[in-house]
Amino acid sequence: MTDLEVVSGAGCVVTTRTGEDYLDFSSGIAVTSTGHCHPHVVAAIQAQAARFIHAQVNVYRHDRLAELAGRLAAISPEPIDTFFFANSGAEATEGAVKLAKQATRRPNVIVFQGSFHGRTHLTMAMTTSKTIYRAGHDPLPSGVFVAPFPHSDDDVAHCLTAVRLLLLSQTSPADTAAMVLEPVLGEGGYLPAPTAFLQGLTEICRQHGILFIADEVQSGFGRTGTMFCIEQHDLRPDIIVMAKGLASGFPISAIGASAEIMARWPPGSHGGTYGGNPIGCAAAIATIDVLTEPGFLAHVVARGEQLRAGLRALAAQHSGIVDVRGPGLMVASEFADATRVGPVLTHCLREGRLILMNAGTFGNVVRWMPPLVVTEAEIDQALAAFGRALAATG
């Protein structure tokens, strides 16, 4: 996305080899939830590195593992209380599908148009945000069926009908293990799923014994103003996939499910050498400490409102922006013309020292995902840089 060579980061700012500071509103793709090098997270990593760097979970148990599982159980929606740890979002998403297959003894999954679930072979087959992620890798695993994702409340009924049609015509309920869904499409354009759609899907799942998997890799850990986005829809997912913001940048991911579902996964049928790494667990525990501080999520909500209000004001002043949307600090500004996005991002980078990224199948969305600790002044600074870019490229 940029040609920057960075040497350090603190909060929302990264510093280059030549000593320039940039406002990092990419958060390393929605990862540095507590900002770059939050002192509490750094201290936890340093302390844990001196105690144990690797304590392989098949060989022995380490204290940080149970502690992290307990902390995650406390913040996860019911009935999620049991966790499997992995290293990346794709690994956890693929693991969640393996779990669903084992738990239901069914072979297929349903995913939604525009989703991004990762770049392993199965998660590539589940990814339809852009062909670039799949091209050149065929044949991809079978057993993945794609249903439409609603772009507005008006689309909900038709999209639910399409899911029912899929179950009648392509993958019968008896063959369908799970539906896997991002509550807000990430790579697909920061598009929130309407509540009525999510509730309709879970109803269909319950009716047919299909598991509902929420891929909260990008939307989880406070990003949308609640710990998990799914909470805002009053839903009880069977499985949640977690990564990115979980440990402020240390590579660790998790699959959460009820103990009852996890028990249907035969021991040894899934695992990995590094999953549940003690330093990753320590980083995640420290991250959860920060995210659960009183007022933290209210701060995310307030900064999100500030950002959306500022973007809507800019959209009223400058032509070209057709929509501003997204919960918390998972915000999109959508352009009518995708060719405008590149010049806007370049202007922000070069003239505003602001790092932003695009999203969407058509590449016409600028996504705003600053660290959740972003200040009011930093949001204002970013909006000013974006406004100058709109003026210069209009």
Ligand X SMILES: Cc1ncc(COP(=O)(O)O)c(C=O)c1O
Rounded to the nearest whole angstrom, what is the least distance from the CB of residue 149 to ligand X in the complex?
Answer: 13
Is the distance from CB of 251 to CB of 28 less than 8 angstroms?
Answer: no
Distance CA 261, CA 13 (A): 42
In the list 34, 181, 183, 215, the residue contacting ligand X (rule: CB under 6 A) is 215
DSSP 244: G
| Phi (first) and psi of residue 18, to 5 degrees | -90, 10
Residue 88 interacts with ligand X (CB under 6 A): yes or no: yes
Residue 172 neighbours by CB under 8 Å, 6+ apart: none
Subset of 331-370 contacting ligand X (CB under 6 A): none
Closest by CA to 161, choosing from 174, 148, 142, 173, is 148
Residues in the chain, overall count: 394
From the list 112-120, 272-280, 338-346, 357-365, the region that binds ligand X by CB under 6 A is: 112-120
Window of 113-121, 137-145, 291-299, 354-362 that interacts with ligand X by CB under 6 A: 113-121
Residue 371 Cα distances to 3, 4, 99, 157, angstroms: 21, 19, 32, 35
d(CA 79, CA 60): 27
- Which of these ranges, 84-92, 100-108, 205-213, 362-370, lies near ligand X under the rule CB under 6 A? 84-92
- Binding residue for ligand X, selected from 24, 182, 334, 378, defined by CB under 6 A: 182
Distance CA 332, CA 350 (A): 21
Residues 6+ apart with CB under 8 A from 44: 282, 283, 285, 286
Least distance between ligand X and beta carbon 329 (Å): 15
Sheet with 331-335, strands from edge to edge, namely 321-325, 331-335, 365-368, 357-359
Per CB under 6 A, contacts with ligand X among 26-45 are 29
Query: 324 CB contacts (<8 Å, ≥6 apart)?
Result: 308, 311, 312, 315, 331, 332, 333, 334
Query: In the complex, what is the shortest distance from the CB of residue 119 to ligand X, in angstroms, rounded to a whole number?
Result: 6
Q: Which of 218, 226, 232, 287 binds ligand X (CB under 6 A)?
A: 218
From the CB of 345, what's the least distance to ligand X, in Å? 18
CB of 364 to ligand X, least distance (A): 18
Contacts (CB under 6 A) with ligand X, residues 144-173: none
Which residue number has the CB closest to ligand X?
A: 89
- Sole binder of ligand X in the list 72, 90, 99, 159 (CB under 6 A): 90
| Spatial CB neighbours of 87, under 8 Å, sequence gap ≥ 6 | 251, 252, 253, 272, 274, 275, 277, 280
Least distance from ligand X to the Cβ atom of residue 237, Å:
14
Binding residues for ligand X restricted to 114-133, rule: CB under 6 A: 116-118
Q: Which stretch binds ligand X (CB under 6 A): 88-96, 165-173, 341-349, 385-393?
A: 88-96
Residue 93 makes contact with ligand X by CB under 6 A: yes
Collapsed DSSP state (helix, strand, coil) of residue 44: helix
- Judged by CB, which is closer to ligand X: 76, or 393? 76
Say how many residues touch ligand X, by CB under 6 A.
Answer: 15
Please, what is the minimum distance in Å from the beta carbon of residue 32 to ligand X? Answer: 14
Nearer to ligand X, 23 or 90 (CB): 90
CB 12 within 8 A of CB 35: yes
What is the rounded distance in angstroms from the CA atom of residue 93 to the CA atom of residue 299? Answer: 29
- Check if the beta carbon of residue 351 is closer than 8 Å to that of residue 392: yes
In the shown chain, the binding pattern of residues 230 to 259 toward ligand X, with x for contact by CB under 6 A and - for none, equals -------------x----------------
Nearer to ligand X, 90 or 167 (CB): 90
393 binds ligand X (CB under 6 A): no
Residues that bind ligand X (CB under 6 A): 29, 88-90, 93, 116-118, 182, 186-187, 215, 217-218, 243
